[in-house]
Amino acid sequence: MRPVHVAGVGMTRFAKQPERRTKDLTAEAVHAALKDADMGMLDVRSAFVGNATAGTITGQEMLFGQFMLRPLGFGEIPVTNVENACASASTAFHLAWQAVATGLVDVALAVGAEKMTHPDKARSFAAIGGAIDVDLVPADLPPERSFLMDMYAESALRYMASSGATAADFARVVVKNQYNGMFNTRAQYGAELTVDEVLAQREIVAPFTLSMCSPISDGAAAAVLVADGFRFAEGDVSVLACELRTASASGGAPVSTLASQAAYEQAGLGPEDLDCIEVHDAAASAELTLYEQLDLGPGPDLIRSGATCLTGRIPVNTSGGLLSRGHPIGATGLAQIFEAVTQLRGGAEGRQVPNARRAMTQNAGGWHDRDNVASVVTIFGS
C-alpha cells in the first residue's frame, strides 16, 4: 500500500434547499474540490459516488453517480456507486483511498451528495427508515419522525442507566455543537444556546428534544485523492489510516470501536495523538457513546469538563457536527473529511484548533441490535 494524500476538498452549504437539484449540489462540490486541488476533470482516473436516499426521494436509482457526474463532462472512467446508509460518503472515500493506495490509479475522486427535502415529510422519514432492517419497523410508526431516532432514543436511555449521563449532558452536546456551527459558513444551524433552552424545546422522543436530533438536510461534498509521488503540494493532507468495519453478527465490541482500533493500529497512533475529531452525532447521545468507543474517555466526564469544546484538550465536532452542520445522509462523511482537512491546513477561521496536526473522522450508518451497522474511521496528518 502506498501513501495517499488529499489534494483538494469541496463542499456546499448544508441546509434545506428545495430549489436546488442534486446535480447542482454535486457540481458545486466537485468543481470546488478540483479547483482546490489545482486539477482538472481529465486528471481524475476513477470516481466513487455516495448516496443513500435518492431512490426514495427523487426516484433516481442504479446509475446515480454516472448521472450526477455526466453533466460535468465525466465519462469513460470507472464510476462506482456507493450506498452504505449514513456512511455512504466515507465509504466512497474509503474505496477511492484503496484505489490510489493499491496503485490502481494515481488520482481518484470521492463524492457524497444527498437531497433529503421533499414536500411530503413522510417520504423523507421513510427514506431514513431504510437504514434499518425493514422487517423490524412497526406498522403503526408515526409519520412525523424516523424509527431510526426511536432506536437512538432507546440506546440513549440504556446509556443513561449505565453511565450516569443525563438529558442535561445531551443538551451540553447541542450547546457545544451549535456554538461551533456559528463559525462554519457551510453549517445548516449555529446559535448560542443554554442547556435549559435545549431541554425546554419540543420533545421528539424521550429523552430527546428537537435540537438533540440531527436535521433533514440537502448538500454535497467531495475530495480529490492523489498518490504519493504523483505530486505533493503545499496544503495536501496525508491519509494515515482509513478503516471500514461492519458490526459483528454475534455481539462483541461496537462497530466504531472495531473501526477505530484498526485505524489506530494502521496509523501507529492512539487517541492521545489526535488534535481534533469529527464524530457521527446523529443524536446528541451518540456523541457521548462515541467518546467511549473511540477510547477518548467517559462521555459524561468529557462533556461536563469542557474537554471536547473548541478550547478543550480534544475538540470534537468543530464543524458543528451533524446536529448543527446538518446531515444530508449520503454526503455527511465527506463533510467531516472537509472539516478535518480544513483544520489541518489552518483554515477553519473562528473554529480553528491551534496547531492542529492530526485529525480523525468517524462516520457510521444504519442501526441493528443496539449498534450502528457500518462505520468508517479515517485519520489524517498534516
- DSSP-assigned letters across all residues of 286-301: HHHHHHHHTTS--HHH
- Using one digit for the tens of pLDDT, what is the confidence trace for 113-145? 999 998 777 777 777 767 777 776 666 666 666
For the chain, the straight-line distance linking the first and the last C-alpha, in angstroms and rounded, comes to 19
Q: Which three cell numbers stand for residue 195?
A: 442547556
CA dist 6 and 97 (Å) reads: 9
What is the mean predicted confidence (pLDDT) over 151-178? 96
> Phi/psi at 381 (nearest 5 deg)?
-135, 145
Tell me how crowded residue 4 is: count the other CB atoms within 10 A of its CB.
24
- Would you say the pTM of this structure is higher than 0.85? yes
Instruction: Please report the pLDDT score of residue 138 as a whole number.
Output: 65
Region(s) of the chain under CATH 3.40.47.10: 4-119+218-241, 131-215+243-381
What is the mean predicted confidence (pLDDT) over 204-233? 93
SS3 51: coil
Whether pLDDT at 271 is above 70: yes
Instruction: Please report the pLDDT score of residue 144 as a whole number.
Output: 61
> Phi/psi at 357 (nearest 5 deg)?
-125, -25
Instruction: Please report the pLDDT score of residue 376 as a whole number.
Output: 98
Whether pLDDT at 148 is above 80: no
Percent of the chain with pLDDT over 70: 96
On whether the 4-119+218-241 domain is CATH 3.40.50.150, my answer is no
CA dist 189 and 166 (Å) reads: 24
Q: Which CATH architecture is the domain 131-215+243-381 placed in?
A: 3-Layer(aba) Sandwich (3.40)
CA dist 353 and 357 (Å) reads: 9
Instruction: Please report the pLDDT score of residue 153 as a whole number.
Output: 93
Residues annotated as catalytic (active site), given as ranges:
86
8 A C-beta contact, residue 93 and residue 341: no
Confidence of residue 149 (pLDDT cuts 50, 70, 90): confident
8 A C-beta contact, residue 359 and residue 275: yes
DSSP string, 51-73: -SSHHHHT---SSHHHHHHGGGT
Instruction: Please report the pLDDT score of residue 128 as a whole number.
Output: 74
> Phi/psi at 353 (nearest 5 deg)?
-85, 125
Whether pLDDT at 30 is above 90: yes
CA dist 41 and 70 (Å) reads: 11
> CA separation (Å) from 222 to 38, 317, 322?
14, 19, 17
Instruction: Please report the pLDDT score of residue 349 as a whole number.
Output: 93
| Residue 110, beta-bridge partner list | 48, 223
CA dist 251 and 89 (Å) reads: 26
Q: Which three cell numbers stand for residue 89?
A: 460518503
Burial of 137 (C-beta count, 10 Å sphere; 0-12/13-18/19+): middle
CA dist 114 and 14 (Å) reads: 10
Residue 57 or 101, more confident: 101
Confidence of residue 326 (pLDDT cuts 50, 70, 90): very high
SS3 115: strand
Residue 340 or 120, more confident: 340
Lowest mean pLDDT among 129-133, 228-232, 276-280, 368-372: 129-133
Q: Which residues of 122-133 are buried (b: 16+ CB within 10 A; e: fewer)?
A: eebbbbbbbbbe
SS3 358: strand
Q: Which three cell numbers stand for residue 289?
A: 457513546
